[in-house]
Amino acid sequence: MERCIINLGDRSYPIYIGPGLLNQPELLQRHVKGKKVLVVTNTKVAPLYLDRTIAALKHGRFNVEVESVILPDGEKYKDLPTLTQVFDKAIQTHMDRRCTFVALGGGVIGDMCGYAAASYLRGVNFIQIPTTLMAQVDSSVGGKTGVNHPLGKNMIGAFYQPQCVLVDTDTLNTLPDRELASGVAEVIKYGLIRDAKFFEWQEKNLEALLARDPATLAYAVKRSCENKAEVVSLDEREGGVRATLNLGHTFGHAIEAGIGYGGWLHGEAVAAGTVMSADMSLRMGWIDETLFNRALELLKRANLPVSPPDSMNIQTFKSIMAVDKKVADGLLRLILLKGSLGNCVFTGEYDPKALDQTLSAFCKS
Amino acid sequence: MERCIINLGDRSYPIYIGPGLLNQPELLQRHVKGKKVLVVTNTKVAPLYLDRTIAALKHGRFNVEVESVILPDGEKYKDLPTLTQVFDKAIQTHMDRRCTFVALGGGVIGDMCGYAAASYLRGVNFIQIPTTLMAQVDSSVGGKTGVNHPLGKNMIGAFYQPQCVLVDTDTLNTLPDRELASGVAEVIKYGLIRDAKFFEWQEKNLEALLARDPATLAYAVKRSCENKAEVVSLDEREGGVRATLNLGHTFGHAIEAGIGYGGWLHGEAVAAGTVMSADMSLRMGWIDETLFNRALELLKRANLPVSPPDSMNIQTFKSIMAVDKKVADGLLRLILLKGSLGNCVFTGEYDPKALDQTLSAFCKS
């Protein structure tokens, strides 16, 4: 088992990474304080892992009461009305301030369960058990929680850290190929923004990763978590460097909201958004064509889309990006690649014409 | 103008108290960082103070954009669907991370606007401008924010501190008598739980307070804020002593939820709850009859109810109190008076028979 620590003073916590961790009850139990647990999961994950999770939580602990709430699956249910189902269940089952919420699922479940935990009784403990590659390498780590608004992604939420993240890499064995590729988009992101060696490793090992070779998967998850842990420890509330984790996300979020949540997977939208960001960087001369092509090729090899869907037009991009969380005093700030592989900037000081040219190049109207 | 500081390290903030403060734009403006402000208010307060608030925010600042959202008035609208109206407006008007939300109204507006500010883009600045006595002496100070759930009061929310609280005591001139009395219930609470001298002052000055004598009102607000500031600075997240501010609130919340939010004002329910808490303390021999009678008399003189409505029965009390936020591992903890005037305890170690006897004495069935 690998262990990685998010250093945030009295809010620090471990990420446990390895195969079969759901069969090690003591890992979870050491982070459960009270006598009541609410597992939040969805219709896809519940049949696969809910029983095992409940068994791990209750193993040898006869006075711990475990309840569960099973939400509908998919990004389109990441909203306030669905969140209310978690509150309803928590109140009906008398979850108290010492209870623990457990997120069992992908990024949507983790974000919703985390925000529910942040808000229920003004804050209760929670634990992340991510079961998708996307959640394991990115969304379960770092305390960003929330739900979507019809007009913008993750517009409502909280920074709220879990007690621990438990990554059982065996859960990836049941993940559909498309979901696996979606997670790979975030793995590639770490390489592009800050870890050239990791990117080079990916160029060598992508096929083994997609074929779910256990050691390759475990390394990709661990190295991604280490990257994320470093960034989050430096800048928990995204005052600066943390924003760089959003490479491709401004374009990507616009795609997700523009075509309707759930039309594309998050990582698919991020992949197309990453190519658009790289294209803009190239137009401004901030990166060379070789780097652009390496990014493009790796995303393609991962079977990820490298341009937005035909239904996205310039106006849709612009209107949704205008409400992006990174807008400050009317100016949209973007994460753009700059310099050699592994370097990027978070800035509002870019040539707006380059943005227009990129949008024109990737949109039919 | 009086000034009182909530000491919470880098989340410290001032409370400004005095007449005519809404006419001093620099007080508000020094706490507004970005160029966009969203005033959250309701249909009762907007006609009275919205224009003046907007004028104060914009005075001499031509590049500050002020938007507003006017919610329906009353505790029954303190819910997630109504909160959504704030998010809708914020997104439609492109409020960004540097924006400031301003709560202009009573406790319901302050709690909702604060929770919206805590959640919007995972947290933006906010300012409290409380316009009711209840909000000025209690709810606007200390960072408790949230909304009700049909099954329990303030079940969903956040601890989230404002940039400042601006108390213009002139706004109390337009407050209905019943609302004024509701706030007095919390003023009396401070005397009972921790400030015997303040309680004695209230016994001498209650009629002047109810007649809205400006100096008497100003002193009551200031002394209440000082008490709350001390407690909140010691225990921001209610690990211990802060819970004592909830004297009468466990019974009171049960009344509010039991008869339907908005049936009684919050302070009315708290007043009846305070008498029930004092009754229970008396039954256990924790206080003497003289103290019980002094509390009862002062609440009566304030024209506050001193027993729950006839529709509340023992079962309703019990089932709602079972989901109170102060339940821990199945045990309901209560704030009870103990000792001489100005002393109380927050405890689960009370005689459950005394609780049953109090419920029987105050309920018809």
Q: Which two tokens stand for residue B328?
A: 């821990």
The pLDDT of B333-358, averaged and rounded, is: 97
Q: Do B149 and A87 touch (CB under 8 A)?
A: yes
Please list the rounded mean pLDDT of every run of 10 residues in chain A (365 residues): 94 96 97 96 98 97 96 96 97 95 98 98 98 98 95 94 97 97 98 98 98 95 97 93 96 95 95 98 98 98 98 96 88 97 97 97 95
- Across the interface, do B327 and A96 touch by the CB < 8 Å criterion? yes
Name, in order, each residue with C-beta under 8 angstroms of B4's C-beta and a sequence gap of 6 or more: B14, B15, B17, B222, B225, B226, B229
Alpha carbon of A151: minimum distance to chain B alpha carbons (Å): 7
Nearest neighbour of B35 by CB, restricted to A34, A152, A329: A329
CB contact under 8 A, A119 and B329: no
**Which residue among B80, B145, B330 places its CB closest to the CB of A80?**
B80
Alpha helices in chain A (DSSP H): 25-29, 51-58, 80-92, 107-119, 133-134, 177-194, 196-210, 214-234, 249-259, 266-283, 289-301, 314-321, 352-362
**CATH 3.40.50.1970 domain locations along chain A:** 2-174
Topology of domain B2-174, per CATH? Rossmann fold (3.40.50)
Residues 6+ apart with CB under 8 A from A208: A216
pLDDT digits (tens, 9 = 90+) for B88-112: 999 999 999 999 999 999 999 999 9
Nearest C-alpha in A relative to B94: A323
Rounded percentage of chain B residues whose pLDDT exceeds 70 = 100
Interface test with B, best of A85, A88, A96, A242 (most B CBs within 10 A): A96
Q: Which residues of A are catalytic?
A: 122, 144, 186, 228, 238, 242, 246, 249, 253, 266
**DSSP symbols for B205-218:** HHHHHHTT-HHHHH
Q: Is A350 helix (H, G, I), strand (E, B) or coil?
A: coil
Catalytic: B23? no
User: pTM of this prediction?
Assistant: 0.95
Q: Tell me the pLDDT of chain B averaged across its residues.
A: 96
Residues of chain A positioned with their CB less than 8 A from the CB of B325: 96-97, 121-122
Per-residue model confidence as pLDDT tens digits over A26-66: 999 999 999 999 999 999 999 999 999 999 999 999 899 99
The residue behind tokens 């028979």 is B353
DSSP B261: T
CA distances from A194 to A69, A223, A224, A279 (A): 38, 12, 11, 18
Q: Which CATH class is domain B185-362?
A: mainly alpha
Residue A359 · residue A318 · CB < 8 Å: yes
- Residue located via tokens 């990763």: A209
Min distance A106 CA to chain B CA atoms (Å): 20
Q: How far, in Å, CA of A154 to CA of B122, rounded?
A: 8
**pLDDT score, position B125:** 98
B238 is an active site residue: yes
**Residue in A156, A160, A331, A332 to test binding to B, most B beta-carbons within 10 Å:** A156
Rounded CA-CA distance A41/A116 in Å is 13
Main-chain dihedrals φ then ψ at residue A249, nearest 5 degrees = -80, -30
pLDDT at B180 over 90: yes
Q: Tell if the CB–CB gap between A119 and B92 is shorter than 8 Å.
A: no
All CATH 1.20.1090.10 domain ranges in chain A, comma separated? 185-362
A74 phi, psi to nearest 5 deg:
125, 155
Residues of chain A contacting B146 with CB distance shorter than 8 Å: 119, 122
Q: Which two tokens stand for residue B254?
A: 């049960």
ipTM of the prediction: 0.94
Is B289 among the catalytic positions?
A: no
Residue of B80, B96, B149 lying closest to A328 (CB–CB): B96
Min CA distance, B328 vs chain A (Å)? 6
